[in-house]
Amino acid sequence: MSTAAREKTLVLMRHSKAEQVLGKPDHDRELTDRGRRDAKAAGAWLRTEGLVPDLVICSTSVRTRQTWDEACRGGAHTEFVEYRRTIYVGGPEQTLETVREDAGDTATVLVVGHNPTTAHLTSILTEGDGSREAHDALAAGFATSGLAVLRYQGEWADLEAGSCSLARFHVSRA
Instruction: For the chain, list residues with pLDDT below 50.
Output: 1-4
pLDDT of residue 174: 84
pLDDT of residue 5: 58
- Those residues whose C-beta lies under 8 Å from the C-beta of residue 42, and which sit 6 or more positions away, are 13, 16, 67, 70, 71, 74, 76, 145, 147, 172
pTM: 0.95
pLDDT of residue 6: 82
pLDDT of residue 119: 97
- Domain architecture of the chain: domains with CATH: 8-17+25-154+164-171 (3.40.50.1240)
- Secondary structure string (H, E, C) spanning the chain: CCCCCCEEEEEEEECCCECCCCCCCHHHCCECHHHHHHHHHHHHHHHHHCCCCCEEEEECCHHHHHHHHHHHHHCCCCCCEEEEHHHHHCCHHHHHHHHHHHCCCCCEEEEEECCCHHHHHHHHHHCCCECHHHHHHHHCCCCCCEEEEEEEECCHHHCCCCCEEEEEEEECCC
CA–CA gap between residue 145 and residue 56 (Å, rounded): 15
